[in-house]
Amino acid sequence: MEPLDRPAVIVADMLVDFVTGALANPPSQATVAPIARLLAGARERGWPVCYCNDAHLPGDVEERVWGAHAMAGTPGARVVPELAPAAGDVEFPKRAYSGFHDTGLDAYLRQRDVGTVVLTGQHAHICVQHTAGSAFFLGYRVVLADDGIAAFTPEDRVAGIAYIETMYGAQTATVDEILAAGA
Ligand code: ZN
């Protein structure tokens, strides 16, 4: 792949509730090791590492669709221990699918002159897709970390990634390819 233009990594919803808890998603467990490798490589290279984490309040709109999940301040709303934020990483709590919706993430990335967001986490067709859409509308290039993105089913995963590639011009590559392109 082409060299990455001023990348940052965004990890979406690798939370206890979404990996092993209220909305547990077994396929997401296979993404933990690749994401950990991506985060380690990003930190080594000085790329900003941002977490977009559901932190819901009672009555949030998503409750209509999913019921209560990842409620702010609960153990289920914490990042899984294997991917716990390191010094210098920033967590952006969110109350809707997009990591850019009312979170301050855009300002944070602009202040660091980020041009490309490398998206990882879950779910491909929900929060990753909405975060990718917001990034596109805001002018960022979007790269998807293929082995670091999960959904509830393989079909949803493929559909989410295909939509992001088609509509937002995203490139999809493995974690190792992404790290090589941004060395
Ligand atoms: Zn949610």
Query: What are the tens digits of pLDDT across the range 44-76?
Result: 999 999 999 999 999 999 999 999 999 999 999
Question: Which tokens sit at 43?
Answer: 């930190």
Q: Report the CATH fold assignment for 7-181.
A: Rossmann fold (3.40.50)
Domain spans of the chain, in order of start: 7-181
The pLDDT of 151-177, averaged and rounded, is 97
> Which residues in 87-99 are b (16+ Cβ under 10 Å) and which e?
eebebbbbbbbbb
Answer whether the bond into residue 56 is a cis peptide, omega within 30°.
no
% pLDDT > 70, the chain: 99
Interval between CA 92 and ligand 1 midpoint (Å): 13
Interval between CA 174 and ligand 1 midpoint (Å): 26
Query: What are the tens digits of pLDDT across the range 65-112?
Result: 999 999 999 999 999 999 999 999 999 999 999 999 999 999 999 999
User: Is 148:172 a contact under the CB 8 Å cutoff?
Assistant: no
Interval between CA 3 and ligand 1 midpoint (Å): 33
Got the DSSP string for 4-57? PSSEEEEEE--BHHHHTSTT--GGGHHHHHHHHHHHHHHHHHT--EEEEEE-B-
Q: What is the pTM of this model?
A: 0.97
